[in-house]
Amino acid sequence: MRRLLPIFVFAVAAIVMSGDSPVHADAKNPTFVDDVTPVLKQHCMNCHGNDKQKGGLNLATYASTQQGGSAGVVVTPGNPDKSRLFTLTDHKEEPKMPPNQPKIPAEQIALLKLWIEQGAKENAGSKVNIPVMPKTDIGLKSVVKGRPEGAPPMPVAGKLKAEPVVVARRPGAVLALATSPWAPLAAIGGQKQVILYNTDTGALLGFIPFEAGQINSIKFSRNARFVLVAGGRGGQSGKAVLFKVETGEKVLEVGSAESDAILAADISADQTQIAVGGPGKIIRIYNTLDGTVLREIKKHTDWVTAVEYSADGVLLATGDRNGGLFVWESFTGREYFSLRGHTAMITDVSWRDDSNVLASSSEDASIKLWEMENGGNIKSWAAHPGGAASVQFSHDGKLASTGRDKVTKVWDQNGAAVKAFEAFPDLGLRVAVTHENGKVIAGDWSGVVKTWSVADAKVLAVLDANPLPLAERLKQAEAAFAAAQAAVAPAQAAFTAAELKAKQATDAYNAVVANMNTINANLAAANKAVVDNTAVANANKPLMDAAKAEVDKATPVAAAAANKAVAVEVVVAAESIAAKAIADAAAKAPTNADLAAASKKATDALAALNVELAAAKKAATDNAAVLAAANAKFAAATKLYADAMAAIAANQKNVAALTPMVAPATAAVAPAKAALDAAAAGVAPAKAALDAATANVAKTKAAVDAMKTPPAPVPAPVPVPPSPTPIPVPPKK
């Protein structure tokens, strides 16, 4: 800045030459044409007019005055204290003007101050365009690496503008696209507006007007709280405006030194700097505290087309239309590396989260990776035939890109393709990756913007870059809601039918399996019974035969004993009669010794016979018992054997009946299982369709409700700007 100061002294010296005060056309509302020009003509035109421009400063026209001189801008609209045209003239800064002379008349100084305070208007019909300065210092004391604590900022319902600023006949080329680093939020550069979408639901959240002209760049702050929008009007002016994500409120605006549209811009991680670049080949670093230019970098040889601060805020990468790629120290502006290798325009740059690797894309078709220890090119690959238009690192270290081949792709850091998505209808221009690394969003020359799933490359949403007015969107949303509601009943019916069919198939399958199992179980039981009863029969046959032998043996013995007992009993009866007769005779002839002897003998013989009879009866009884026991044992053995044989016969009959039934029962299981599987397979899609229909109802209802939320206050109409600046993408082939 010391080298530039003498040049600037010449630029303002002529202003402070004394002279009579001019007559104001409107003392309360001065303009350049009516009020300031007479002062400049009186004091400045000899050195800073069309014929001579000391210090590169020409004050003959409004545009050249706004452009400033070699030392930078001399007028900052709305801020006299930051306008050296005023501060040097009023002796507020050194060197005081005019050199070694008193101030110019106080009336002229007051005129200059009032003119700048009111926005430095060109004429009475000019619109005041005073840059918005932050109400508070947004600079951060320290940079938080990674995701900040707390919920990431998202637009608050009803705070953003619900109506589009412009509805064109068709969407324009997607020149600017960005995603929040920590929230499901995408910002698309439309015509005079930024369009915000929820990347999880695809819902349109609202609009942020951009009054400065065409939008060429959108970047979110590293903490996701702000979105920086940059652009302008070709050959006239450029602005970079910072907005709050939650409300769309303008926080600050820089670009007072820009005489052409800004093509690329970014805000530093600590939010103290905004770097911009454009057709002027100059990188300007603005102070976010007051909007002043901190420094200028004049190393590029062509339009500056890419600008991005590293995640830690230490470095700044910039690229130009001639293939020049540089890395600068953020807080000094000193060159850190000149990265040589690209042979055509640098279209985009992106830092890896650790700030150690920079990715660059170029119209030479390549993507290159650069390490920051020595500035070496660690990887290079041909990404898009015809030209790579955009590249972005994701948090997980992958890269997304798009280009002239119309295909958006995901790469690993070795240059290996991870995914390639369906081609756009036209050239791919911008790409972004969502905060959770799961989606890629890209836009093309024809205004098509799509969201893809990284996992399966499916299209998740098509984002409208030219949304309809709220009333028409609401009408469409209500129709979609009605259609979604109508789709639920058929989906529910299909799901119910699928469930019923699955239940019936399950019941049929279970019945077939149960029948097969029953037949097999019965057959097994019958076979087992045959085996078991054969064993019983075989075991009882010897027992039965032995019992029969015992019966055969006991039968004659018992019969003989019984006969003997009968015989002895008959003898006893006869002998009893005889003995009684003898005893009676002896009693009648007591003196007959022979009769007495005969009576005693008969009595003794009878007693012996009674003993024999008792023994014979006991023997008969015992042998009868033995025979009865033998008969009982034989009967039992015979019954067991007969029962076993009967069971064998019965179960052999069952086996004969069941065996032919096994094969058909088994064969019926497979078709029943196939029918069950088919029916069960139909349940999941039907359930998914029902869930999707139900979710669609919720989604479309939410969209309707969101559109019915009271909108934020409508700002003043945005004037129609002149033709937009040429975009930094070469014409299509």
Q: Are 172 and 430 in contact (CB under 8 A)?
A: no
Residue 418 pLDDT: 96
pLDDT above 60 (res 143): yes
Q: Which position has the token pair 């926080």?
A: 251
**Least confident span in 33-37, 40-44, 192-196, 553-557:** 40-44
Residue 23 pLDDT: 44
98 C-beta neighbours (distance < 10 Å), count? 19
**Least confident span in 21-35, 110-124, 214-228, 361-375:** 21-35
Measured CA to CA, the distance from residue 318 to residue 260 in angstroms comes to: 18
pLDDT above 80 (res 725): no
Q: Are 184 and 434 in contact (CB under 8 A)?
A: yes
pLDDT above 90 (res 699): no
φ and ψ at 65, to 5 degrees?
-65, -45
723 vs 522: which has the higher pLDDT:
522
pLDDT in tens, 171-191: 999 999 999 999 999 999 999
How sure is the predictor about 132, in pLDDT bands with cuts at 50, 70 and 90? low
Measured CA to CA, the distance from residue 470 to residue 475 in angstroms comes to: 8
Beta bridge pairs of residue 114? none
How distant is the alpha carbon of residue 124 from its chain centre?
55
pLDDT in tens, 97-110: 777 888 888 888 88
Which residues in 608-620 are b (16+ Cβ under 10 Å) and which e? Answer: ebeebbeebbebb
Edge-first strand listing for the sheet containing 459-464: 428-433, 439-444, 448-453, 459-464
Beta bridge pairs of residue 238? 232
Residue type, 691: D
Global pTM reads: 0.64
706 vs 10: which has the higher pLDDT:
706
φ and ψ at 59, to 5 degrees?
-100, 15
Three-class secondary structure assignment of 560-587: HHHHHHHHHHHHHHHHHHHHHHHHHHHH
Nearest Cα to 394, choosing from 453, 362, 458, 351? 351
pLDDT above 60 (res 24): no
pLDDT in tens, 301-319: 999 999 999 999 999 999 9
419 C-beta neighbours (distance < 10 Å), count? 17
Domains and CATH numbers, the chain: 5-117 (no CATH), 177-206+264-467 (2.130.10.10), 476-679 (1.10.287.620)
Measured CA to CA, the distance from residue 205 to residue 245 in angstroms comes to: 11
φ and ψ at 439, to 5 degrees?
-135, 150
730 vs 686: which has the higher pLDDT:
686
Nearest Cα to 166, choosing from 185, 194, 126, 188? 194
pLDDT above 60 (res 21): no
pLDDT above 70 (res 729): no
